[in-house]
Structure 1
Amino acid sequence: MKFALNTPNFGAYSDPRLLAELAREAEAAGWDGFFIWDHIHPGRNLVEPTADPWIALAAMVMTTSKITLGSLVTPLPRRRPWKLAREIVTLDHLSQGRVILGLGIGSDRRQEYSGFQESADSKRHGEMLDEGLEVLLGLWSGEQFSYTGKHYQVNKEVFLPRPVQQPRIPIWLAGTWPHKKPFQRAARWDGINPICWDKALTAEDYREIRAYIQQYRTSDAPFDVIASTLETGTDPEKDRTTARAYIDAGVTWMQERIEWHTSVPQALTRIRQGPIRI
């Protein structure tokens, strides 16, 4: 089991210098990972400063040397896949191979599609995600790559350098449980970040998720299951019990969410406590 932090990229956490400091503190305290959200804005009716996640992650890379960093979750249909391919490979080289890419279709709950007159159709976004994943993989190969899809076309492009991490930069996909299609898609990649809007997922939910995905796995390569929790650190024994239940259910990463309304001093105090010790 690995332990990570997860912060927004808006509000107080839109300051890349602050995020770089928090990442440095997290590494010193023994956390394994630090992930940030990828939002254009926090919501049409909520005006807050917002940072570009890739610039913020670059700042975080430069203050750390071991901790894993990445986005959870980048909606690929909101981005040009060839632009994202360049950004993530650059970050992979800058970090010397410490990057994980979290991807999904995103949602329009914050009007991050419709607010800019883009389609909010989830089926269309699912098609774009599938095609975008193939484009990322092809461009990361370092070989001449062409692609003809419904949404994306690439004509004999060669992207260098290749990623530091091989055979590819790890890709975790997000999906809203119990919708099944995103979890079938995730089985072809490197991990799943389950989301549920109706309730907090339990260890038994994660066990069910892992068993469902396993039916569709065609590789015996390691596969990560990421659990999200709210603040821990106030009851160590309860935290250890929760972590052990997640481990038994097949969870490999436990990420603790720092909500956008959490004060920076509160976040810093929790970070310095370090992760759960089993």
Structure 2
Amino acid sequence: MRLGVLLLPTDPWPQTVARARHLEALGYAHLWTYDHLSWRRYRDRPWHAALPWLTGLAGVTSRVRLGTMVTSPTFRHPVSLAKEAMTLDHVSDGRLTLGIGAGGTGFDATVLGEEVRTPRQRAARLTEFVEVLDGLLREPAYSHRGEHYTVEDARMIPGCVQRPRLPLAIAAAGPKTLALAARHADAWITYGEPDAADQSPAAIEAAVRKQAAILDERCAEIGRDPKSVDRIYLVGNTEERPLASVAAFEDFVGRYRELGFTDIVFHDPRPDDPVWTEDPAIVEHLIR
């Protein structure tokens, strides 16, 4: 099981650099950040742009993988995103994973003056977004005409360091997005059913098990080995607190390993955050 840490892009840069270097030295496999323009309870606090922030981390680390958790079509266009991701893949010497999701209903959804889309509309837009990104990141020249995007002979030279393209990690919970992950994802990201009334450990595990079964079925339908898709569980805001102790974390990791997960990502504890209130020192003891 690979372990990763999600860092919020909110702290002063020297503090961020020191934390990232320390987590890399401890042996964590990957570091992630949210790709938002502003976010929830940090709406009126410092909040940096994800891709420049990750580019900076690429320059001060050497081994740990870096990723977005997750970028979305809400305020991104696939052409500019592909070009920036390709460039970051070079800056990081092939250490970037591009996490992608449908986007939500928060601040980012309306900041460009658009109306909030329905879940069905967001899933349809995500499907085309991923298909275009996949083509852009694989080909030196790419064109596309669809419902949401038009691309005229976009150049993507020299291409990604990682071949045939950098990895895409797709956040998916429903049948349509899980089918998209089966077709295009190198990794699948989930954190259960965040809108469900029951956020107990048993309910979350049941939801994740159902999602995993759908992913397996969609892979089988297109002749893909389900094991070729890495499975990333993001520890969310549920009733379970796996960072409460080393024993709790080991139990949590064991249960999700049995569900087929290859990676666990948790939020770095923050003394000033009302949710992730665990002792930051616990992070020193979770890696083996």
* Cα distance in 1 for residues equivalent to 2:142 and 2:62: 33
Q: Within 5 Å, give how 1:117-136 maps onto structure 2.
A: 117-122=113-118, 123-136=120-133
Give the letter for the 2:4 counterpart.
A
* Cα distance in 2 for residues equivalent to 1:54 and 1:78: 13
Note closer, same or farther for the CA distance 1:149–1:259 as it changes in structure 2 (3 Å cut). farther
* Cα distance in 2 for residues equivalent to 1:259 and 1:125: 31
Task: Indicate the larger mover: 140-149 or 51-60.
Answer: 140-149
- Counterpart position of 1:3: 3
Deviations 1:68-99 (A, max 9, x none): 11110111232111110111111111111111
Question: TM-score under structure 1 normalisation?
Answer: 0.87
- Counterpart position of 2:261: 251
Deviations 1:106-149 (A, max 9, x none): 111x2222243113113333232222222222222243321111
Instruction: Judge conservation of contact 2:245–2:282 (CA < 8 Å) in 1.
Output: no
- Counterpart position of 1:275: 286
Match of 2:218 among 216, 228, 231: 216
Task: Indicate the larger mover: 243-252 or 115-124.
Answer: 115-124
Instruction: Judge conservation of contact 1:171–1:190 (CA < 8 Å) in 2.
Output: yes
Which runs of 5 or more residues in structure 2 are unaligned?
none
Instruction: Judge conservation of contact 1:104–1:129 (CA < 8 Å) in 2.
Output: yes
Q: Within 5 Å, give how 1:111-122 maps onto structure 2.
A: 111-122=107-118
Instruction: Judge conservation of contact 2:28–2:287 (CA < 8 Å) in 1.
Output: no
What is the Cα-based RMSD across aligned positions, in Å? Answer: 2.6
* Cα distance in 2 for residues equivalent to 1:155 and 1:209: 36
Note closer, same or farther for the CA distance 1:126–1:204 as it changes in structure 2 (3 Å cut). closer
Question: TM-score under structure 2 normalisation?
Answer: 0.84
Alignment pair present for 1:228 and 2:234: yes
Report deviation, 1:245.
1.3
Which runs of 5 or more residues in structure 1 are unaligned?
none
Instruction: Judge conservation of contact 1:8–1:37 (CA < 8 Å) in 2.
Output: yes
Match of 2:35 among 34, 38, 51: 38
Note closer, same or farther for the CA distance 1:267–1:169 as it changes in structure 2 (3 Å cut). farther
Note closer, same or farther for the CA distance 1:240–1:268 as it changes in structure 2 (3 Å cut). closer
Alignment pair present for 1:182 and 2:177: yes
Instruction: Judge conservation of contact 1:69–1:99 (CA < 8 Å) in 2.
Output: yes
Same amino acid, percent of matched pairs = 25
Q: Within 5 Å, give how 1:1-278 maps onto structure 2.
A: 1-9=1-9, 13-43=10-40, 46-108=43-105, 110-122=106-118, 123-175=120-172, 177=173, 179-188=174-183, 189-195=185-191, 196-197=193-194, 198=196, 199=199, 202-217=204-219, 218=222, 219-220=224-225, 222-229=228-235, 232=242, 234-258=244-268, 261-262=272-273, 269-271=281-283, 273-277=284-288
Give the letter for the 2:137 counterpart.
W
* Cα distance in 1 for residues equivalent to 2:48 and 2:95: 21
Deviations 1:37-92 (A, max 9, x none): 11111249941111000111011111111111111011123211111011111111
Report deviation, 1:206.
3.0
| Larger relative contact order (Cα-Cα within 8 Å, sequence gap ≥ 6) | 1
* Cα distance in 1 for residues equivalent to 2:214 and 2:155: 37
Aligned length: 270
* Cα distance in 1 for residues equivalent to 2:160 and 2:121: 29
Note closer, same or farther for the CA distance 1:140–1:115 as it changes in structure 2 (3 Å cut). closer
